[in-house]
Amino acid sequence: MKLLKQSAPKIMNRRIALGFFVAMVLIASGFTLSFYSYNQYRTDTERVRHTYEVVGSLESILSLVKDVETGSRGYIITSDSAYLDNYQVAITVLPSRLEQLHTLMADNDNTVQIQRAGKLDHLVADKLALSQLRVKNRSMNVPYTRSLNGEGKRRMDVLRRHIAVMVDTERSLMETRNRQAARSFRNTLIIIFALSLLTFLSLVVSYQLLEQELARRQQNEDQLRAYEARLREQIRQLESSNEELERFAFVASHDLQEPLRKIQSFANLITDRYGNLFDGDSLLFMNKIVHSAERMSKLIKDLLNFSRISNHQEEFKPVPLGMIIQRILDDQELRIKGLNVRVEVGSLPTIPAISSQMDHLFTNLISNALKFTRPDVQPLIRIQARSVKGSAYPELISERLYSEITVQDNGIGFDEKYLDHIFKVFQRLHGKSEFEGTGIGLAICKRVTVSHHGYITAKSQPGRGTTFIVVLPESQSLQDYDRSNPTESYSYSAS
């Protein structure tokens, strides 16, 4: 479910991006297709205009031929040379008009029309030759003949029909091209409208998706603000609770210790003054009272030490771990000699830490090694250190450098399935009758390591000893100073 919630914003963002991408593609496609359709329409329009020019050229040629025919007839009938003016102009202009027609036909894909234009040249040439012959005969006073006149009429009719066929063909082609131009124009409008509609729809969908995304983000922001307000309230309650715990620790360290000291003092006085009057059971009971008071006092002190460990009580300073270990070993010298413990200490680094907390950490680890020894086996404590990267432990920052300190013994060991329990408060793997202790020492060790932004774990097998591994940063960043302790889970069950 969390994965689906996390992927939902990504899916929404992809949909919005896809909507705008589709809109841009449609706009680009509309521009391209519109440009293509416009060019097609312009081409069809040019072809229509070209057809008009061909028709106009054919009609101009026919008109000039008519001028030649009219001028030659008027001169033949009246012998008035004024009729030859239009005749001469037509004969002069006709070659250029024919050449213009051929140029227009060259741009035409109609082969039949091109062939007809070639035939038109011959028909016009024949007609002009006959008209020139008739004008020449009239100027030389050659008698008028009906046969020559009939041939001129026949050639004129053939020429007129030929041009009419060519004009009809061009007009038919013109209608076809007009329809193509109209269709191109209509298709252009349809394409532009369809693409504009699709673009509008895609933009509307993208806008709706964007509006939903903005609404979702606003809702998330409102939720975050509510969470922030709730978190601040919880922090305030937590700070108040911590103040109460500190007051409790103060009471535990002073007010609760006082009645315990009185119990111990009066029990010792009774034993000293009236011990000769007690039987064996009475002395046993008094010893148990004294022992329980001493254990209660130690338990209160350990709880006080556990509660005082935090991340901001003191400033991190360079702490030589070698000196810390040596001081602890000196304090434990009588016990070490009494148990004939072999101690091996390697080179230990200097790290930024809180000296008193390092003292608590390694005192508890060394005390554990001295406590859980095996009978008939010379105890061994080996303390070593090496530099490692955080990537060696998933709980740490992968690129940072850490000092890995191992405290190894050859004691009774434990089953690693209980690894998570040994670092919790009041969790014991052995009864009070077997080994002394309050069950808080390793919880203090874990809290110290966590407050130093490190990590603690252990490797062990029953009967083969235990190796505690403490990993602490070689340097503390500013973020580490400002960061609160990570939340830990402790069990306070005393059972």
pLDDT of residue 402: 92
Does 3.40.50.720 match the CATH number of domain 312-495? no
Ranking 35-44, 251-260, 281-290, 399-408 by mean pLDDT, the lowest is: 251-260
Delimit the domains of the chain by residue range.
2-216, 256-308, 312-495
Q: What is the mean pLDDT of residues 274-288?
A: 76
Does residue 129 have a pLDDT over 60?
yes
Q: Which residues pair with 457 in a beta bridge?
A: 469
pLDDT of residue 323: 92
Q: What pLDDT, in 10s, does the model give residues 367-385?
A: 888 888 888 888 999 999 9
Helix boundaries (H) for 310-456: 321-331, 333-339, 355-371, 419-422, 441-451
Q: How far apart are CA 61 and CA 120, in angstroms?
A: 10
Q: What is the mean pLDDT of residues 351-365?
A: 87
Q: How far apart are CA 278 and CA 282, in angstroms?
A: 5
- Least Cα distance to 260 among 302, 306, 307, 298 occurs for 298
Q: What pLDDT, in 10s, does the model give residues 395-426?
A: 888 888 999 999 999 888 887 777 777 776 54
Q: What pLDDT, in 10s, does the model give residues 283-326?
A: 777 777 877 777 677 666 666 666 666 544 568 889 999 999 99
Q: What pLDDT, in 10s, does the model give residues 161-172?
A: 888 888 888 788
- Is residue 267 within 8 A of residue 284, CB to CB? The reply is no
Q: What is the mean pLDDT of residues 26-51?
A: 75
Selected residue with higher pLDDT from 236 and 152: 236
Selected residue with higher pLDDT from 185 and 451: 451
Q: What are the two backbone dihedrals, phi and then psi, of residue 145, each rounded to the nearest 5 degrees?
A: -120, 135
pLDDT of residue 143: 66
Tell how far CA 101 is from the center of its chain. 68
pTM across the whole model: 0.46
Does residue 271 have a pLDDT over 70?
yes
Q: Which CATH architecture has domain 2-216?
A: Up-down Bundle (1.20)
B/e letters for 400-435, b = 16+ CB within 10 Å, e = fewer, are bebbbbbbbbbbbbbeeeeeeebbbbbbbeeeeeee
pLDDT of residue 7: 62
Q: What pLDDT, in 10s, does the model give residues 439-467?
A: 677 888 888 888 888 998 888 888 888 89
Does residue 67 have a pLDDT over 60?
yes
- Is residue 151 within 8 A of residue 130, CB to CB? The reply is yes
What are 220's two structure tokens? 């998330």
pLDDT of residue 431: 44
Burial class (CB in 10 A: 0-12, 13-18, 19+), 153: exposed
Quickly list DSSP for 178-234. Answer: HHHHHHHHHHHHHHHHHHHHHHHHHHHHHHHHHHHHHHHHHHHHHHHHHHHHHHHHH
Tell whether the torsion through CA atoms of 392, 398, 404 and 408 is positive or negative: negative
Q: How far apart are CA 134 and CA 141, in angstroms?
A: 10
Does residue 434 have a pLDDT over 70?
no
Does residue 60 have a pLDDT over 80?
yes
Helix boundaries (H) for 373-436: 419-422
Tell whether the torsion through CA atoms of 107, 113, 115 and 119 is positive or negative: negative
Percentage above 90 pLDDT, the chain: 9
Q: How far apart are CA 472 and CA 460, in angstroms?
A: 21
Q: What is the mean pLDDT of residues 228-247?
A: 80
